[in-house]
């Protein structure tokens, strides 16, 4: 890393993918909600494992294996410290999606036909479909938290809903992947706890931008994906309270997660090992460790201040264009603008924008219930990260105006 303070010019130099051209135009990357770019230190850490350190973890007494195991577990410690929890409360997964499925599967013996699971219309499919399957398998009731017409939560109404239904579990996102809206989780979690309800928070979008202390947040489970935090793809984690993790059924079985095995019976280790069968994504974990080191060398409040200033700058520019409908709430937002232009199909605009080197998301963003709630089939989404600058916004607005001129 070439910088230990928030020097945006130097920060951008740490991300090699930002230096390229797309369709003969400088890349303007506004799709960090889908995946963040990786600083060179993350790429180097991943390459170093395969070229110099390659060995399996937890399975050998030779030097390379012991070194790999030590480095691998050190990243678990770093991750736990980043979120303010204990190391044995962090389970490695393939990503946030697998982490949610792990919990949903693990609760099969605790959810009954007399229970209710509450989800929201705002969430990613990954935090909806697993709960649909769980309630179908157990006969439990699936209930949906009320949402205002503008896709914001009325916290009092939501608390009344929780108090009325007394659910066994509430699954909710920390921030909307489509809108960027930040959920006011504290009062919802307090209300859930008052009726004995477990709370799973999807932190896929919030982990980078909000950096929550999970003990303070007081949720029972929290999931995130490394690739949305500057790390490699194919890796994520589940945080869970130790006793709760150990109460879950195993998600997958096989080597490494067992305590004893006979031909007729097996016993399992305690979490996190209980949920980490097989050879893990070691290179991904070590790369994520480098991502955490990078983030820890920056002041998080500097990141927040920059992203929020850039969000307001981009929103101001976008809303000056006649025909733009903006669906995102701007006061509490991680840095994402969800919008449409008149009745133009978002795919058409996204394709035209790509001709100017502008990368953003178009479609339903894996949130079809939210699209239905908003009365649209899809939208465009420009999502910012701390490595974006005003030039990115200006390039985006310039390209959008030219694309609209072609369509009108």
| Among 191, 338, 366, 403, the one annotated catalytic | 366
Q: How confident is the model at residue 216 (pLDDT cuts 50, 70, 90)?
A: very high
Q: HEC profile for the chain?
A: CCCCCCCHHHHHHCCHHHHCEECCEECEECECCCCCCCCHHHHHHHHHHHHHHCCCCCCCCCHHHHHHHHHHHHHHHHHHHHHCCCHHHEEEECCHHHHHHHHHHHCCCCCCCCCEEEECCCCCHHHCHHHHHHHHHHCCEEEECCCCCCCCCCHHHHHHHHHHHCCCEEEEECECCCCCEECCHHHHHHHHHHCCCEEEEECCCHHHHHCCCHHHHCCCEEEEEHHHCCCCCCCEEEEECHHHHHHCCCCCCCCCCEEEECCCCEEECCCCHHHCCCCCCHHHHHHHHHHHHHHHCCCHHHHHHHHHHHHHHHHHHHHCCCCEEECCCCCCECCEEEEEECCCCHHHHHHHHHCCCEECEEECCCCHHHHHHHCCCCEEEEECCCCCCHHHHHHHHHHHHHHHHHHC
What pLDDT score does 408 carry?
81
What pLDDT score does 5 carry?
67
Q: Is the pLDDT of residue 61 over 80?
A: yes
Strand partners, 22: 25
Task: Tell me the pLDDT of the chain averaged across its residues.
Answer: 96
What percent of the chain has pLDDT above 70?
99
**Contact predicate 288/370, CB 8 Å:** no
Please count the other Cβ atoms lying within 10 Å of the Cβ belonging to residue 313. 15
For 20-29, write each residue's pLDDT tens digit.
Answer: 999 999 999 9
| CATH 3.90.1150.10 domain extents, the chain | 8-30+299-407
Active site residue 159: no
**Contact predicate 162/188, CB 8 Å:** yes
What percent of the chain has pLDDT above 90?
96
| Rounded average pLDDT over 169-191 | 98
Q: Is the pLDDT of residue 278 over 50?
A: yes
Contacts of 261 (CB under 8 A, 6+ apart): none
For 67-102, write each residue's pLDDT tens digit.
Answer: 999 999 999 999 999 999 999 999 999 999 999 999
What pLDDT score does 4 carry?
52
Q: For the whole prediction, is pTM greater than 0.85? A: yes
The CATH class of 44-296 is alpha beta
State how far the Cα of 233 lies from the Cα of 224, in Å rounded to an integer.
Answer: 12
CA atoms within 13 A on the CB side of 45: 26
- Write out the two tokens for 154: 């009325």
- Write out the two tokens for 108: 């099969």
Please count the other Cβ atoms lying within 10 Å of the Cβ belonging to residue 47. 12
For 140-149, write each residue's pLDDT tens digit.
Answer: 999 999 999 9
| CATH 3.40.640.10 domain extents, the chain | 44-296
| 8-30+299-407 fold | 3.90.1150
| End-to-end Cα distance, the chain | 46
Q: Is the pLDDT of residue 230 over 70?
A: yes
């Amino acid at each position: 890393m070439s910088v230990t303070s928030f020097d945006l010019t130097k920060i951008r130099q740490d991300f090699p993918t930002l230096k390229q051209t797309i369709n003969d135009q400088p890349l303007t990357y506004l799709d960090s909600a889908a995946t963040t770019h990786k600083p060179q230190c993350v790429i180097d850490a991943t390459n170093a494992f395969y070229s110099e350190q390659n060995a399996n973890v937890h399975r050998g007494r030779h030097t390379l294996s012991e070194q790999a195991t030590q480095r691998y577990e050190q990243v678990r410690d770093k991750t736990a410290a980043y979120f303010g929890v204990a190391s044995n409360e962090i389970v490695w997964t393939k990503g946030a999606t697998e982490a949610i499925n792990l919990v949903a599967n693990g609760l099969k013996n605790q959810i009954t036909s007399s229970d209710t699971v509450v989800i929201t219309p705002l969430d990613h499919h990954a935090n909806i479909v697993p709960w649909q399957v769980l309630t179908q398998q157990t006969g439990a009731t699936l209930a949906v938290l009320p949402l205002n017409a503008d896709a914001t939560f009325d916290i009092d109404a939501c608390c009344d809903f929780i108090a009325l239904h007394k659910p066994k579990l509430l699954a909710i996102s920390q921030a909307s992947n489509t809108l960027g809206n930040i959920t006011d989780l504290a009062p919802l979690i307090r209300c859930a706890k008052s009726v004995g309800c477990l709370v799973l928070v999807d932190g896929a979008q919030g982990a980078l931008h909000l950096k929550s202390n999970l003990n303070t947040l007081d949720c029972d489970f929290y999931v995130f994906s490394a690739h949305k935090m500057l790390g490699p793809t194919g890796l994520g984690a589940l945080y869970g309270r130790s006793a709760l993790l150990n109460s879950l059924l195993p998600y997958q079985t096989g080597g490494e997660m067992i305590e004893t095995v006979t031909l007729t019976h097996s016993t399992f280790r305690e979490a996190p090992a209980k949920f980490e069968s097989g050879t893990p994504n070691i290179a991904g974990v070590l790369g994520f460790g480098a991502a955490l080191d990078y983030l820890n060398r920056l002041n998080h409040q500097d990141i927040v201040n920059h992203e929020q200033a850039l969000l307001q700058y981009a929103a101001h520019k976008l809303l000056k264009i006649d025909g733009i409908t903006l669906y995102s709430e701007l006061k509490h937002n991680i840095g994402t603008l969800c919008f449409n232009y008149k009745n133009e199909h978002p795919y058409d605009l996204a394709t035209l924008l790509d001709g100017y080197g502008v990368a953003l998301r178009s479609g339903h963003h894996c949130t079809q219930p939210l699209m239905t709630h908003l009365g649209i089939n899809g939208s465009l989404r420009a999502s910012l990260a701390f490595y974006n600058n005003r030039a990115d916004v200006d390039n985006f607005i310039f390209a959008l105006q030219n694309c609209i001129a072609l369509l009108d």
